[in-house]
Structures are given as C-alpha cells and as structure tokens.
Amino acid sequence: MSIEVKNVFKYYGEQAALNDVSFKVNSGEIIGFLGPNGAGKSTMMKIITCFIPKSAGTVKVCGLDVEEHSIEVRKKVGYLPEHNPLYLDMYVKEYLSFVAGIYKIPNRKERVQEMIKKVGLEKEQNKKIGALSKGYRQRVGLAQAIIHDPEVLILDEPTSGLDPNQLVDIRKLIIEIGKTKTVMLSTHIMQEVEAICDRVIIIKEGTIVADNSAKEIQQKDVEKQTILVEFDKNCSRNQLRQIPGVKSVKQVDDNKWVFLGAGDVRPEIAKFAQRESLLILAMSIEEKSMEEVFKELTQN
C-alpha cells in the first residue's frame, strides 16, 4: 500500500476542510483526485507530503506515518505543488542542482542531466526559469519532483493553466513517469481523469463522495441508465413499461424508444422482443460522461 489515509480531519480555525476522509492508493496506481475548487484537494495533498499537519486521523506513505517518520516520508514522496513555487531568477540547471543538493543526491551533475532529458528540457536547460513558458516551468516542477527517485508522486493540478498542446505533452509525461511510480494527481478536469488515471476519488466539501475505477464511476448511477431501442414495428408503450427493471419509456420516433432503466435492462428488452416477435434493429446504451457524473456527485 502506497498511501493510506484513515479518518482524517483538517480544520482551518472553525472551518473543516477535510471531514473524515479515508482512502487507499495501491502501489503502481495512477489515481485522480477530483473535486471542485475548495473541496480540500490541496489540503489533503499537503498533509500527505508533510507540508501541513492534520487535525486528526492517520496518514501513512509506504507504511510510514507522516508525522512520526516525516523525514523518511519526504524521501519517498515527490511533490508538485499547486502554485509551483519555482525560483524564477535561477537557471534551470542551477535550480535542479540545488534541489539535488537538498536531497544529498550523489553524482548530482549526472542526475540533473538525466532529469533534463527525461522531462524534455534539453533546449531550455541554460535558461532562467522566469524565461520559460508555463508548460516548461511545469517540466522543471516535474523534474524536481522526481529527482530523488521517489516511490510516490503527488501532483497538485499539474496541467492547470497550460495551453492545449502543453497539456497533451505534460499528460504524456505523467503517464510515462507513472509507469514506475504511484501517482496521485488532483484535477477539476474530468477528461484528465479519463486520459490518465486508473482510478478516481471524488471529493466534495471535504468528504469523499466516490472512490472507484473511472469506468465504474461512469456506471455508478445506474438508476438513470438510458437505452435507445429501435424495433421493426410498432408496439404499445404500456407493454414496454411492463418490462422488468424499466422505469420509464418514451417514444422518440415511429419504432424508436428510449428506456430509462434500473441498471442495464437490455437483456430484459431482448427477451420481451423475442416473446412479442419483434425484431430489434438497434439497441444502444448511453454511458454517462465523467463530466455528467462529476456534476451529479458534486452539485447539491
């Protein structure tokens, strides 16, 4: 187990930013930590990376308690903070060498070169960080996060503020880096989760509202599964409503119907058709987009 969060609370004064949060991340997983602004994503990540203390609960990284073994935990965790606070007056190479020094990495020069190559900063390596575009600054941020070869990578909104091309590049880089590490990345962009993550944890107002594979979350709200069916001839709406599991039926065209079912009622529709000697010309299930599911889970 790479990350274990159990019954964590965090108060800023009176306000509870995290309210009894529990989840686990297995080693090797890339998980998306999804939630609207102010949900508590950054707060959770700062606790995992030992930047701020929790108010209650336990957090372990690679089996080590973040408070009892904070130095060990920092060695095992790479962190790209939300507002990546880079030293804009430093040169790329100088900065990475400085970070390598903090971690007391041997063969510092080689390691810095290795990182520059890994994140695609060869052309920019002699520039000041302040002269780089946001996309390249994020590459520097990723390089500093992985320079000490951590097992776990915590990326707080790593693609926010990037243009579409930079976004694709950084996602690719995260997927590449994620092949050998456990990655937890926060985002408020649904497509990001679909593009990168194995699993998604959704947080809303400091509480976890979903924790599942991306696919399962899409299928979670089966109450409203929509199925479009075209028969070869007409039939009565009353008959169709008798099909087990069907909640409602709407006619959209001559022989075309939209079913709203509790779960996947396609097998029942097929049985009905056979019984009534109807041919099914088309049948499709409409999966909800992550975006719709996210909205449903995080809006009141």
* Interface residue list for ligand ADP (CB under 6 A): 12, 17, 35, 37-43
If contact means CB under 5 to 8 A according to the sort of partner, which of Mg ion, ligand ADP, none does residue 37 touch? Answer: ligand ADP
Residues 6+ apart with CB under 8 A from 70: 50
Nearest alpha-carbon partner for 138 in 162, 116, 154: 162
> Using CB under 5 A, which of the segments 33-41, 102-110, 177-185, 211-219 binds Mg ion?
33-41
Residues 194 and 214: beta-carbon distance below 8 Å: yes
Size of the site for Mg ion (CB under 5 A): 3
Cβ closest to ligand ADP, residue 32 vs residue 261: 32
Cβ closest to ligand ADP, residue 81 vs residue 135: 81
| Strands 77-80 vs 15-25: parallel, antiparallel or unpaired | unpaired
Backbone dihedral region of 16: left (phi > 0), alpha (psi from -120 to 50 degrees) or beta? beta
Residues 6+ apart with CB under 8 A from 264: 222, 225, 227, 285
If contact means CB under 5 to 8 A according to the sort of partner, which of ligand ADP, Mg ion, none does residue 32 touch? Answer: none
If contact means CB under 5 to 8 A according to the sort of partner, which of ligand ADP, Mg ion, none does residue 12 touch? Answer: ligand ADP
Residues 106 and 79: beta-carbon distance below 8 Å: no
CA–chain centroid gap for 298, Å, is 15
Write the DSSP assignment of 25-44 as a string of letters. E-TT-EEEEE--TTSSHHHH
> Using CB under 5 A, which of the segments 82-90, 141-149, 228-236, 271-279 binds Mg ion?
82-90
Q: Which two tokens stand for residue 14?
A: 């009176």
CB of 177 to ligand ADP, least distance (A): 22
CB of 205 to ligand ADP, least distance (A): 8
Cβ closest to Mg ion, residue 42 vs residue 182: 42
User: Cα(154)–Cα(157) distance, rounded to whole angstroms?
Assistant: 10
Q: Does 42 bind Mg ion (CB under 5 A)?
A: yes
CB of 157 to ligand ADP, least distance (A): 8
> Using CB under 5 A, which of the segments 39-47, 134-142, 189-197, 204-212 binds Mg ion?
39-47
CB of 39 to ligand ADP, least distance (A): 4
If contact means CB under 5 to 8 A according to the sort of partner, which of ligand ADP, Mg ion, none does residue 171 touch? Answer: none
